Amino acid sequence: MLLLFSLVASFAMMGRVFWIQLVRSDELKARAQDQWTSDVPVEPQRGTILDRNNNPLAISATVDTVMASPPDIADVEKTAALLSSALDMKKDELVRLISESKTKKRAAIYIKRKITDEESEKVRKLNLKGIYFTKENKRFYPERNLASHILGFTGIDSQGLDGVELIYDKYLKGVPGRIVAETDALSRKLPFGDEQYIPPEDGYNLQLTIDKVIQHIAERELEKAIAEHNAKKGTIIVMDPRTGEILALANKPDYDPNDYKNYAPKSWRNPAVSDVYEPGSTFKIVTASAGLEEDVVHPDDKFYCPGYAIVSGIRIGCWLHGGHGSETFIQGVENSCNPVFIEVAQKLGKERFVKYIKGFGFGQTTGVDLPGEASGLFDPSKMGPVELATISFGQGISVTPIQLITALSTIANDGKMVQPHVAKAIMDKNGKVIHEFGVTPVRQVISYETAQEMKKILESVVTNGTGGRGKIEGFRVAGKTGTAEKYAAGKYVASFEGFVPADNPRLAALVIIDEPSGGIIYGGQIAGPVFQKVASDAMNYLGIKPEIPQKLENSSVKVPDLRNLFVEDAKKILQKEGLAVRVEGEGYVVSSQVPVPGTEVDKNTTVILKVTNSRTNKDPVAIPDVSGRTVKESTDILNAVGLNIDIVGSGFAEKQNPPPGTEVGIGSTVIVEFGRKP
C-alpha cells in the first residue's frame, strides 16, 4: 500500500513538474520577470516637421516628467500634500494614486508628465524620498497658430491626433526604448541588481510642401478680409497646379496647437478639406470646359440673356436682374451670366455633364494627405432638368475647397489632373531623403486645346469681366468669381479662384469668404482683392518677374464721360475706344465711373461703371436700344434715361421710333413695337 501510494505521488509530482516546466514555462517566466524587474519605457524623440525650405514648424524638446516609487514613500499624506502644491494637482487624487500603487506593489508610476521648468524646480527643492524624474519629449509649435490645420497636434504619449501629425505618425513617432532593472519583493530597486538600457529609435523628419512665407501671406490677408467684411470665416488655398503641391492652406478662425485643449473641438476641424458648400459661379469653369470639349459651344457663339431662363416651367434668374442682352459665349463667361451656362448644360445633356463633373473630381475625395476629407454632395440620380440647370452655375451641388482648387489647377495644367498633397519628403536626422512624395497623376480631364481656350477665356474674365479686382500689375491673370446664396436668407459665400501667369501658371489660388456682411456680397469685390494681394506678394517672394508688355504708339486714350448714360450705350462707347468695362451695382444708369472722365489710360484698361436705379438728368439724351427686351424692361430703361414709352403689342421689343442713338429731349416719347419672340 505504501509503495503504491509513493508511486502514484511520484507520477503526480512528475506530471506537475512537466506542466510547470514545459506547458506553462513561458507564461510563468514572464510573470516571474514582471515580479522581480521594473520596466520603464523610454520615449523616442518625435521627428521634426519642416516647411519646404527646412524651416521648423513642429519640434520636440526634452522636458521632465515626475515619477514615483510607491514602495519607497513612507508618508503618503505628506508627500501628496507637498506635490499637490508644487504641481497644481489635487491632494486627494495623489493620495489615492500612490496608495493604490503601494497596495498593488507597483514599482513606478507617473505623477505628472511633461512639466514646465518652473514645476520641475519646485519639485526638486522638495527633495522627497520615492519621487524622481525621467526625461520625455514634448511637442512644440514655434509658429503657434500658423498652419495649425495642416500640422494638427499630438497627445500626452506623443502620438499624432490630427493633421499631418496623425497621417504621418508612423514615420514621426520612432520606436520606444526601455530601462529594465531588478527589484525586491516590495518592488524596490535592488542596489546591486542588473539594469539594462535599450535605447529608443528617434522618428524621421517630415518636410512639407508648405512655404512658411506664403502661408504667412495667406493667413495675414485672410484675417484682414474677415475683419473688413465682418465675415463668419474664410479659407485660402495656394497650390502649384503643375505638381499638386499645396504651398499654403489657411483657415480662419484657427487655433494654437501648443494649447489645443483650450479650444473648442470644432475649431480643430479643417474647413478646406472637411466642409462642403455651394460654389456658385466658380463652378462655371466645369460647365464651360465641358461645353468646349464636347463641341456644343464655341467662344464666339451668340446668346441672349433677358435676365432669366425658363426650365420646366420654373423661372431661374440671372444675377443681373435686367439681363445682359445679346452676348457671345466669352462675354457670357466674363459677365458670369447664368442663362448662358444653363443653355450650355442643356446642350450637353445630363449624361455628358455628369461625366465631366465626375471627371473634375466632384462627388469623390481628392486623396489629399490630410485627415477628415469630405467627398462633397453630388447625386446624379436626383438630377432632373431643373437640377441640371442650377448645377451649371454652381447651385444644387456641394463641394469642398480642395476639390475646387484641384479642378481649377487641372485647367491650368493643360487638362491634366494631379493629386494635391502637403508632404514633400521623409528625411532622417542628417537631412538624407528616405522617401520623396512626387507628382501623382490622376487623369486627363479635358484636352490640351480645350485647356488653352479656357485659359484665354478665364484671362478675359479678369481683363474685361467680373474678375477685374484680381488683376496683378505686370502679369496675365486668369480667374473666376463666385457669389453663392446660402439657404439661410441673406447669407452668401463670396469667392475668387485664379492662376498666374495665365499662359504658364506657377500658382493657383482659391479665396473663400463665408457670410460677409456690410452690404457688399459679390465675390469679385470681396475675394478678388484678397486673391490679388496673396498672389502678387507670393509671385514677388518667389522671384517671378512681371511680364511687361511693350507699349505701342498711340496706345493711350482719354476716358470719355459716361455719367448719366444708359449702361449699354456706355459699354458701346468704351468698346469703340478700345477700353474694357466692368459694371458694378444694379440698375440702368451710370451714376459714376472709375477712372474719372478725361483721364489718359492705356488701351484695354478696364473702366468701372457704377450703375443705379436713379434717373438721368442729361439733356438731350440718346435713345437706348431696347431690342429683345420685355415690356417692363423697356419701360424701366426708357424711364431711367428720362423718356416715356408708347407700347404697341406685347412680348419682346422688335422696333422703336425714333431709332436707337437718336438724341431727343428729356420727356420725349418713344414708340416701341413688341412681338412674341425676342
The b/e string for 604-618 (b: 16+ C-beta within 10 A; e otherwise) is: ebbbbbbbeeeebeb
**Alpha-carbon distance 272 to 234, whole Å?**
9
**Alpha-carbon distance 534 to 511, whole Å?**
9
Q: What share of the chain is helix, strand, coil (3-state, %, to 5)?
A: 35, 25, 40
The β-bridge relationship of strands 416-418 and 441-444 is: antiparallel
Cβ-proximal residues to 37 (8 Å cutoff; 6+ apart), any chain: 180, 181, 182, 183
Instruction: Provide the 3-class DSSP secondary structure of residue 523.
Output: helix
Q: Which residues are catalytic?
A: 281
Nearest CA to 359 out of 348, 372, 346, 371 is that of 348
**Alpha-carbon distance 80 to 62, whole Å?**
26
**Alpha-carbon distance 486 to 396, whole Å?**
11
Cβ-proximal residues to 485 (8 Å cutoff; 6+ apart), any chain: 280, 395, 491, 492
The b/e string for 398-433 (b: 16+ C-beta within 10 A; e otherwise) is: bbbbbbbbbbbbbbbbbbbbbbbbbbbbbbeeeeee
DSSP secondary structure letter of residue 625: P
The b/e string for 8-36 (b: 16+ C-beta within 10 A; e otherwise) is: eeeeeeeeeeeeeeeeeeeeeeeeeeeee
In which element (H, E) is residue 197 found?
A: strand 195-198
**Alpha-carbon distance 283 to 136, whole Å?**
50
DSSP secondary structure letter of residue 552: P
DSSP secondary structure letter of residue 300: T
Neighbour tally for 3: CB within 10 Å:
7
Neighbour tally for 593: CB within 10 Å:
21
Residue whose entry in the numeric block shows the C-alpha cell 505701342:
552
Nearest CA to 116 out of 124, 106, 107, 105 is that of 124
In which element (H, E) is residue 214 found?
A: helix 212-228
Q: How many helices (H) and strands (E) does the chain have?
A: 19, 31
Per this entry, what is the length of the chain?
Answer: 678
Could you tell me where the DSSP H helices lie in 511-630?
A: 523-541, 567-576
**Is 392 within 8 Å of 352 (Cβ atoms)?**
no
Identity (one letter) of the amino acid at 154?
T
Q: How far is CA 381 from CA 350, 351, 378, 385, 586, in A?
A: 10, 11, 9, 12, 37
Write out the three cell numbers for 642.
Answer: 428720362
Residue 438 C-beta-side C-alpha neighbours within 13 Å: 3
**Alpha-carbon distance 669 to 178, whole Å?**
97
